[in-house]
């Protein structure tokens, strides 16, 4: 796994929370499927390369009608 | 091996943030290249445009846009888009026409006007477009990918933030006297490391800016070049153009995707995509990394330049930091890399960039790169990569 920290917001169509919160992005190797998948790090947890993670569903953003969810990576 | 073609002329509009119509930059570069070749626009039999997607319809049909701006002449035309590799594809389209005998002399032009800040996907709601989705679902900018590649180098090879900063320091020194470069100020390691963090571990001074600029080349058959003979002595030749795509399964994350191919059914064998770009150029030219005198590589970030050293075979994997520290890739070293200053000093004018790399090597091989000359350069290679899997590499010889 490779992880990095994004200290400033991406431009739209990224929907930034208000106020903006820095977020981590991890490249995670799935051992059985043998592929690497990018995802945000849930709760901006402090991850290190080699940490085992699992997929969680977390809020991407909300509007008046819906809460949109997305996959994220969280430490096991 | 493919037959060579001649580069009769090269030209650029200086890179900057000029805020004018991209067509102006392309026309200025084209006129410079034509003057350099000793030809006029009416001599051109084929015009090959590298497209820009951020300037409306004229950008999508750049070949015709430039042809009209230079004055309709009835010339044959093609336009192509391949992201950062668009310029190399436009060159290769012209080369194919020349080698097929469909024209003797061609003009290749690319130019761009860019918005400020991060590149964002083109507008509209497009959830079936990976370039839109990676922003929406991940907030993954281009520097996000550069940062992941940089972290990988730190983990695998022990690269340090200071190593990355040293790449910027080198390129800033190279580009300081380049009249076409946008940033011409030498910077120190301390200044680089004090600049704001954009995508950890990369800082503002280590990430290529988005720029306005234009570049053009005039290409011809060797027969035409000998008859014309306007350039002093033997012209610089294009001996290979690589435009390869990845092989399945691609095990390295490719911008703008957010997953690799799966290796569960078929394991990834052979060279990585980036390695294969240069390999195809070497194979076509019959040359190898040991023949190179100079290279222009696509330093979208300081750290990425180190990856390219290995991808083009200047050293083994994991040795790029040592090459840099030993000064091998600085002017005066064994194989100077990015004598122009690279993207570090130019910023990125997407469709012009791969053409600009060739312009620089032509000046180097003609001994015209004042203030940044690689002494005695005879063989040069450019390398670049367009998102969605576009390889781009051009080999030129004297």
The DSSP 8-state label assigned to residue B337 in this structure reads: B
Question: Taking residues B206-222, what's their average pLDDT?
Answer: 97
Asked if B144 and A10 come within 8 Å (Cβ–Cβ), the reply is: yes
| Chain A residues near any Cβ of chain B (below 8 Å) | 2-16, 23, 25, 27, 32-40, 49, 60, 70
Give the distance from residue A63's alpha carbon to the nearest chain B alpha carbon, in angstroms.
14
* Residue B269 clears pLDDT 90, i.e. is over it: no
pLDDT in tens, B271-291: 999 999 999 999 999 999 999
Give the distance from residue A34's alpha carbon to the nearest chain B alpha carbon, in angstroms.
5
Query: Could you tell me the pLDDT band of residue B293, with boundaries at 50, 70 and 90?
Result: very high
Closest CA to B357 of B241, B185, B186: B241
In whole angstroms, what is the distance from residue B45 CA to residue B39 CA? 12
Interface probe for A, chosen from B124, B200, B249 (most Cβ of A below 10 Å), is B200
Q: Which residues of chain A have pLDDT under 50?
A: none
Closest CA to B278 of B261, B262, B296, B263: B296
> Considering only alpha carbons, which residue of chain B is nearest residue A58?
B137
In whole angstroms, what is the distance from residue B287 CA to residue B283 CA? 7
Asked if A10 and B125 come within 8 Å (Cβ–Cβ), the reply is: no
What residues of A are in contact with residue B155 (Cβ under 8 Å)?
2, 49
Residue-averaged pLDDT of chain B: 96
| Chain B residues near any Cβ of chain A (below 8 Å) | 117-118, 120-121, 125, 132, 134-141, 144, 147-148, 150-152, 155, 197-201, 249, 251, 253, 258-264
What residues of A are in contact with residue B197 (Cβ under 8 Å)?
7
Asked if A36 and B144 come within 8 Å (Cβ–Cβ), the reply is: no
Q: Would you put residue B74 in left (φ > 0), alpha (ψ -120 to 50) or beta?
A: left
Question: Taking residues B123-140, what's their average pLDDT?
Answer: 93
Query: Could you tell me the pLDDT band of residue B230, with boundaries at 50, 70 and 90?
Result: low
**Cα A69 vs. chain centroid, distance in angstroms?**
11
Range scoring the smallest mean pLDDT among A44-58, B19-33, B226-240, B252-266:
B226-240
Residue with structure tokens 């100079």?
B294
pLDDT at res. B120: 82
In whole angstroms, what is the distance from residue B254 CA to residue B273 CA? 9
pLDDT at res. B124: 86
In whole angstroms, what is the distance from residue B277 CA to residue B394 CA? 10
* Residue B118 clears pLDDT 80, i.e. is over it: no
pTM: 0.96
pLDDT at res. A9: 81
DSSP string, A5-71: EE-SPPPTTS---SS---EEEEEEEETTTTEEEEEEEGGG----TT--EEEEEEEEEE-SS-EEEEE
**Is there a contact between B309 and B296 (Cβ–Cβ < 8 Å)?**
no
**Residue B242 in 3-state DSSP?**
strand
Residue with structure tokens 């594809």?
B89
Residue with structure tokens 């003797």?
B104
Give the distance from residue B264's alpha carbon to the nearest chain A alpha carbon, in angstroms.
5
Question: Taking residues B136-158, what's their average pLDDT?
Answer: 95
Q: Would you put residue A50 in left (φ > 0), alpha (ψ -120 to 50) or beta?
A: left
pLDDT in tens, B150-162: 999 999 999 999 9
Select from B136, B199, B263 the Cβ nearest to the Cβ of A14.
B136
pLDDT at res. B275: 97
Give the distance from residue A9's alpha carbon to the nearest chain B alpha carbon, in angstroms.
7
Interface probe for A, chosen from B119, B120, B130, B151 (most Cβ of A below 10 Å), is B151
pLDDT at res. B229: 73
Question: Taking residues B101-105, what's their average pLDDT?
Answer: 98
Asked if B138 and A39 come within 8 Å (Cβ–Cβ), the reply is: yes
β-strand partners of A67:
A62
Interface probe for B, chosen from A23, A25, A37, A63 (most Cβ of B below 10 Å), is A25
Query: Could you tell me the pLDDT band of residue B117, with boundaries at 50, 70 and 90?
Result: confident
**Is there a contact between B134 and B258 (Cβ–Cβ < 8 Å)?**
yes
């Amino acid at each position: 796994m490779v992880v990095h920290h994004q200290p400033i917001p991406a431009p739209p169509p990224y929907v930034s929370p208000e106020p903006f919160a820095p977020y981590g992005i991890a490249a995670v190797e799935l051992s059985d499927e043998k592929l690497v998948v990018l995802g945000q790090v849930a709760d901006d947890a402090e991850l290190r390369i080699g940490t085992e993670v699992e997929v969680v569903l977390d809020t991407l953003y909300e509007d008046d009608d819906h809460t949109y969810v997305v996959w994220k990576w969280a430490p096991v | 091996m493919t037959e060579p073609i001649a580069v009769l002329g090269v030209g650029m509009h200086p890179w900057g943030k000029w805020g004018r119509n991209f067509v102006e930059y392309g026309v200025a570069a084209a006129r410079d290249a034509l003057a350099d070749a000793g030809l006029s626009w009416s001599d051109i039999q084929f015009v090959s445009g590298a497209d820009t997607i951020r300037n409306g319809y004229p950008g999508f049909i750049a070949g015709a846009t430039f042809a009209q701006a230079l004055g309709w002449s009835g010339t044959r035309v093609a336009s192509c888009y391949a992201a950062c590799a668009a310029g190399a594809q436009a060159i290769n389209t012209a080369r194919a026409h020349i080698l097929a005998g469909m024209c003797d002399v061609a003009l290749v032009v690319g130019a761009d006007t860019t918005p400020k800040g991060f590149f964002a996907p083109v507008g509209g709601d497009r959830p079936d477009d990976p370039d839109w989705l990676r922003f929406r679902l991940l907030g993954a900018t281009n520097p996000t990918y550069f940062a992941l590649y940089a972290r990988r180098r730190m983990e695998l090879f022990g690269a340090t933030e200071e190593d990355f900063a040293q790449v910027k320091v080198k390129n800033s020194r190279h580009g300081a006297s380049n009249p076409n470069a946008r940033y011409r100020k030498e910077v120190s390691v301390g200044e680089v490391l004090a600049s704001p963090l954009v995508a950890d571990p990369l800082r503002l001074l280590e990430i290529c800016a988005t720029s306005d600029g234009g570049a053009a080349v005039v290409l011809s058959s060797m027969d035409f070049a000998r008859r014309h003979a306007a350039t002093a002595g033997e012209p610089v030749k294009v001996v290979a153009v690589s435009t390869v795509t990845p092989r399945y399964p691609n095990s390295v994350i490719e911008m703008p995707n957010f997953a690799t191919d799966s290796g569960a059914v078929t394991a990834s064998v052979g060279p990585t995509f980036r390695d294969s770009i240069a390999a195809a150029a070497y194979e076509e030219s019959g040359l190898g990394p040991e023949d190179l005198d100079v290279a222009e590589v696509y330093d979208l970030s300081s750290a990425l330049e180190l990856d390219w050293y290995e991808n083009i075979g200047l050293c083994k994997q994991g040795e790029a930091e040592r090459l840099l520290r030993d000064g091998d890739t600085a002017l005066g070293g064994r194989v100077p890399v990015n004598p122009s200053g690279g993207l570090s000093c130019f910023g990125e004018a997407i469709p012009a960039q791969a053409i600009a790399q060739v312009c620089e090597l032509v000046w180097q091989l003609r001994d015209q790169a004042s203030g940044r000359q690689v002494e005695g350069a005879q063989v040069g290679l450019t390398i670049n990569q367009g998102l969605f899997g576009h390889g781009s590499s051009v080999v030129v010889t004297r």
